[in-house]
Chain A
Amino acid sequence: VSASSRLEREYRLYRRRIARCRTENQINRVHIALGSYMTPFEVRYFDAALERDDPGSISRAWFTDFMRLMPLRQLRQAEFERRGVLKGLSIYSAQLGSPEQKTLLICFAGNFHRLGLPSSTLLDCLDPALYDVIILRDLSLRVFSWGIPGLGEDFFTTVAALRRYVDLSAYRNSITLGTSSGSLPALLAAILLETDRGIYINGTDLPQFAAYVKSFGVSDAPYAEALARRPEPFPDLLLVYSGQHAEDAGAAKALHERVPSRLLGVANCGTHGVLGWKLTKGRLPSFLSRLLGQKVESHQLAATAETE
């Protein structure tokens, strides 16, 4: 099936789904879900197809917004394609290059099953020739402690099962990244999978996380054990927090005392959604380069300072 016929089929399915919606909330629900899964290529296709619609339609407004939220909007030599392996696991990869030329980015979504941004915004910043991206979603809203259906029934079996879908050792390097409730899981996954880097963005410290996990009927002991592991080489752990957000700053600094890591405070940012805040400042791609320690558009190293 060609890419264009696949997209046209997806678009027709979308139109039928929207036609069945009876309330504004139902329409919003469909678009919020799409925002968590779509690639830049899909967003551009849908946006172009919707040009035939009434300029005041809600669908057009949503896709105009998705387009506006993509900072680069570059046409790529090859585009990210989504492999929807499971509802809670999507793999984004372009038919270009080989794993040894690419960085594998394993993302643990936070609120609303996203990384503080639509998936198309994040992917738009990354060169598909250089990155493969996995997005894991906590569909049970239990900070991944109940696992991901089809992958594992708890956090640890879920992380271990990732190896069924991807060969980490084949990649040039691998990085985990998590936002909000996905932050500490991303950090732990970096230690468990022995990736090169783990990025935590505005998450919780271990005691609060342990309290959450216990309230879901899950033992917190394995989490403390995982955080205490010190594999060699140890991943480069980066704890990012909004400098003007007392709760997020406090959590990152407390966690920094528990695990070898580097702190990165984002000055003047008082919002929990730091990636979205960077987007509004027009600095999301360069900020991502700093978090990843390498450019989003090349393998050139990017420095990570103590403050941003």
Chain B
Amino acid sequence: MSAPEAQLERPRQVVFDALRVASPSGFTEELRRAFVNERLNLKFANLDMDSLGRMEFCIAVELATGASLLPSQLLELASTDAVEQWLRQALA
């Protein structure tokens, strides 16, 4: 929770914030640091995120950007880099 969030570019910040809401136990401090400092590409399968978590993730993304990423789409995207790429296209 103390990772330097302010340094993130917009799509990555949205993903970071959504992960904090959607996977409070899976998105550990260690992963947060690696996500910010090492641009780690996280696989959703490794984040202890259940179906409710995926819905919360999509809701957080929509609230932050207005872009409607659906839980069924999220299952296909599989990783944080893929979501970032999807967001860049959706917001372009």
The interface residues of chain B lying within 8 Å CB-to-CB of A112 are: 52-53, 56
For residue B63, give the distance in angstroms from its CB to the closest CB of chain A. 8
- CB <8 Å contact, A25 and B24: no
- CB <8 Å contact, B1 and A25: no
- The residue of chain B having its C-beta at the shortest distance from the C-beta of A208 within the complex is B29
Contacts known (A25-B58, A29-B59); A212 close to B71, Cβ less than 8 A: no
Contacts known (A180-B25, A215-B1); A23 close to B56, Cβ less than 8 A: no
CA distance A141 to B21 in the complex (A): 8
The interface residues of chain B lying within 8 Å CB-to-CB of A216 are: 1
From 245 to 290 in chain A, residues with beta carbon under 8 angstroms from any chain B beta carbon are 247, 271-273, 276
- CB <8 Å contact, B71 and A28: yes
Q: In this complex, which of B25, B52, B55, B68 has the most chain A Cβ atoms within 10 angstroms of its Cβ? A: B25
Does B41 reach chain A (CB closer than 8 Å)? no
For residue A270, give the distance in angstroms from its CB to the closest CB of chain B. 10
CA distance A23 to B59 in the complex (A): 10
How many A-B pairs have beta carbons closer than 8 Å: the answer is 52
A28, A110, A111, A181: the one within 8 Å of B59 (CB): A28
- CB <8 Å contact, B68 and A25: yes
For residue B80, give the distance in angstroms from its CB to the closest CB of chain A. 18
Q: In this complex, which of A24, A25, A110, A215 has the most chain B Cβ atoms within 10 angstroms of its Cβ? A: A25
The interface residues of chain B lying within 8 Å CB-to-CB of A32 are: 52, 55-56, 59
From 198 to 227 in chain A, residues with beta carbon under 8 angstroms from any chain B beta carbon are 202, 208, 211-212, 215-216
CA distance A263 to B54 in the complex (A): 31
Q: How many residues of B sit at the interface, in one of the four size bands?
A: 20 to 34
The interface residues of chain A lying within 8 Å CB-to-CB of B56 are: 32, 112
CA distance A49 to B20 in the complex (A): 36
B21, B28, B55, B70: the one within 8 Å of A247 (CB): B28
CA distance A181 to B20 in the complex (A): 13
For residue A70, give the distance in angstroms from its CB to the closest CB of chain B. 17
Does B2 reach chain A (CB closer than 8 Å)? yes
7 residue pairs A–B, Cβ–Cβ below 8 Å:
A23-B68, A24-B71, A32-B56, A180-B24, A211-B1, A247-B25, A276-B50
**Which residues from chain B sit less than 8 Å from chain A, CB to CB?**
1-2, 20-21, 24-26, 28-29, 48, 50, 52-53, 55-56, 58-59, 62, 68-71
**Which residues from chain A sit less than 8 Å from chain B, CB to CB?**
23-26, 28-29, 32, 110-112, 141, 180-181, 202, 208, 211-212, 215-216, 247, 271-273, 276
